[in-house]
Each structure stands twice: as C-alpha cells, then as structure tokens.
Structure 1
Amino acid sequence: MIVLAGPSGSGKSRLAERLGRSRGWPTLRLDDFYRDGDEPDLPRIADGANAGLVDWDHPGSWHCDDAVAAIRALCEQGRTEVPEYSIAQSRRTGTQSLDLGGARVFCAEGIFADEVVERCRAEGLLEAAYCITQHPLVTFVRRLTRDLRERRKPPLVLVRRGWALLRAQRRVVRRAVQVGCRVATGDRAHAELTGRAGGGSSHVLAG
C-alpha cells in the first residue's frame, strides 16, 4: 500500500487518479470511513465561529479500525467491501466492492491517512507513505472551490472551516512527518513513485 496523507485539498485524490492512469494502481478512499453525523459521541468544535458543530477534521470522527481492516483484506485477499459515504449528507449511503484486479500495489488516500501508517508498517502492509502538500493559500482556494462545487456543507461553514484548516496546515504536516510520511508536492511524489525523479527513488515499484 502507498499512503497519500496531507491536508484537505492538497491534491491527494488527484495524485491517486494520476497513479491509477499511469501505473494501474487502484485507490482506497479512506474518507469513506467517516462516521455518521448523527452518532451522539462525535467530537465537537469547542470554540470559534463553528463552535458546537461536528469536528470532521478530528480523527475521532473517523473509523480507523474499519479502514485498517479494509487495508489488511486488500493486501491479503485482493478485494474487500468498502462503504460509500456522502459528505453532503454526513452518512454512509451503501457499500461497494473494491477489487485490486491483480494489481500488486494500491493507494490509500484521505485526510486521516497518517493514522494508519504506523499500524500498517508494523503489519508489513506499507510500501511507502507520503504527505502531499503545497502552499497553504493554494490549498485553501482549491479546497473551497471543490467543497462549494460538491455542496459538501453550507457555504459559510466551508469558508470558516477552510480558514481554520489553512492555519492548521503546518500542524497537519508535522503530524504526518512524525509517523514517517515523506513530504512532497503531488508532482514530486508522482515522479518518485513512477521512477521519473532524478537519481531514482527507493520507493520506485514494478508495474
């Protein structure tokens, strides 16, 4: 498994799609393991303009154990059932089968992807882990544009959340580095993973 962690809007999904086209690597969307919004013990934002709302950027809003179980099944069996999640509705809407189709490598991407790194490394499931990042203002604009287009939440909530995430981006990157993620732009990570970076890379994999 290749982990693609990093701030929301940094380009993780875009990179996973590029690797799917160029290398044939399937993608496990870790954001589909969010908890339903009506669960009573979800973490809440404590202060600021969004105080009282569910804190969807807190790892407690996410099913880490379920995500690791899906990763383990993909590595051992090549297929698994994964949830379908609607961010706009804040709930699971169904399930779908993810089959690697014989691929030796797959990507796992999401804002909580760094949460699985240490566990998967200990189980021998991890090939490489990246924290995808770019300038915070670029991330802010791309994230807000995406979230408004997909109507993920009310516009005012998205703007306020986006501003809070911009200020928290360094902390998110620092956390990913602490568990062993390599910091890179999407272009740099793609070059390394496909063997196009100058001098080669220890993470270059066979097709």
Structure 2
Amino acid sequence: MSSPPPIPTRVVLLCGPSGSGKSLLAARSGLPVLRLDDFYKEGADPTLPLVSGSSDIDWDHPDSWDADTAVASIVELCRTGRTDVPVYDISLSARTGTEAVDVGRTPLFIAEGIFAAEIVTRCQELGVLADALCLSRGPVRTFRRRFLRDLREGRKSVPLLVRRGWRLMRLERSIVARQSALGAHPCDRHEALGRLAAAAGRRPAASPAS
C-alpha cells in the first residue's frame, strides 16, 4: 500500500495573552496569517461562558471560540492552500460575512490568536503542525498595550475593557503557564522570530516544545 501524499504546507500556532503582540509579530514575519479571532462564537450563542460572579461574557475562555471550525480551516489551508473563513466584528460580537484566505504554495503560515494553544495537540495529530509559540511581554506592558488597542478600536464598552484588563493582568502568568502546558513554547518576540525562521526552513518539523 502506498503512503499518503505529503502535506505541502504546515502551520505555526501563535498564542499568548491578549495584547501580547501576536498580530504585530505575525505581520513582521512576512508569512501568510490566519486570524483565529475570526472563529469566536456569536454573542447570542447560548453556550458562551460567563465570568465567574458576573453577567459579563468571558471572551477569554476557550468555550467562547469555535475550535472545530478553526482546525478544519487550518487543515484545508495546509492541504489545498485555500479556505473560506468567517469575518468577525469584535465590537458587535458577530460574524459579518466570510472571506477567502489563500496561502498559495507557501510551505508555512501562521495561525494566531489567544486560543491557538487549545488546538496544538489536534494539529500535531493531524500532521500539520510546524511549531507552537506563546508570546509574552509581562503583565503590566500587556495590560497597557491591550487597553489602548481595545479603546482605540472600540472593541467593547470602556467599563468592560477596564474590568477585563484588570482581570487579565492578574491572570497573565497563569495564562502563559496553561498555554505552555498545552504545548506552546513560551518566548519573547526575538526568540519567536528566530523559531519562525527555523520552521520556514525545516520539514518535517521538530516537536513544538523542543
């Protein structure tokens, strides 16, 4: 029996706390990028989790995100170079359409988002994972950058942004620890760029935790 054809493209999963600089790093890498934030569930979804002791939706909980659809899109990109993905408006908590993502014949692309670590094992088992990175800048720097970005983009109401920002600042070290336990290598921007360059030049990839 012949072996299955090799997968032409692989993915680097890039996670880290909200505001840690994932999008900027992905853009700086020069690689094609899949935005995993576009796979959030819509605001009316009854399965959305709440912040403990609050009526606020917990958008930082993995259950607020559609992992199955995200994985299916990653696999399709790896096998065919193209997929259709949702377009998500964070300020509306809603999907506003779809768009085509085309990575062509590139051997590597980045899928970035705060929940990327949640699918490390699945992508590894499916044979599409090149590496998994967890970007960290420190709680105070991340808090400041996240708040200014979210305020500038009008993502949510100011009181919600303050409550969320304070909560995430206190939780940042545990967030990084969880994502590392799921298989994402914790690193700063400089190391992340080095690992991306290495991943672009190697096939098959090494273990994401190496």
User: Do the structures match in fold with TM over 0.5?
Assistant: yes
What residue number does 1:199 align with?
A: none
- Structure 1 Cα separation of the partners of residues 52 and 183 of structure 2: 30
TM-score by length of 1: 0.90
The one-letter amino acid paired with 2:43 is: G
The correspondence for 2:168, drawn from 165, 170, 175, is: 165
1:7-26 paired onto structure 2 within 5 Å: 7-20=17-30, 25-26=31-32
- Structure 1 Cα separation of the partners of residues 72 and 18 of structure 2: 23
What residue number does 1:78 align with?
A: 81
The one-letter amino acid paired with 1:205 is: G
The one-letter amino acid paired with 1:35 is: K
Structure 2: runs of 5 or more not aligned: 1-10, 203-210
Divergent runs of 4+, >3 A: none
What residue number does 1:46 align with?
A: 52
1:51-62 paired onto structure 2 within 5 Å: 51-62=54-65
What residue number does 2:113 align with?
A: 110
Q: Identity across aligned pairs (percent)? A: 49
Contact 2:47 2:63 in 1 (8 A): no
- Structure 1 Cα separation of the partners of residues 96 and 154 of structure 2: 17
- Structure 2 Cα separation of the partners of residues 177 and 205 of structure 1: 24
Alpha-carbon deviation of 1:156? 1.2
The alignment covers a number of residue pairs equal to 192
1:126 has 2:129 as partner = yes
Deviations 1:108-166 (A, max 9, x none): 00010001101000111100000000111000000001000000001111011001001
Alpha-carbon deviation of 1:38? 1.0
- Structure 2 Cα separation of the partners of residues 144 and 26 of structure 1: 27
Alpha-carbon deviation of 1:204? 5.4
Structure 1: runs of 5 or more not aligned: 196-202
Deviates more, 1:112-121 or 1:180-189: 180-189
Contact 2:82 2:100 in 1 (8 A): yes
- Structure 2 Cα separation of the partners of residues 114 and 176 of structure 1: 5
The one-letter amino acid paired with 2:69 is: D
The correspondence for 1:30, drawn from 5, 28, 36, is: 36
- CA 145–61 in structure 1, closer or farther in 2 if over 3 Å, else same: same
Alpha-carbon deviation of 1:39? 1.4
Let me know the Cα RMSD of the aligned residues.
Answer: 1.1
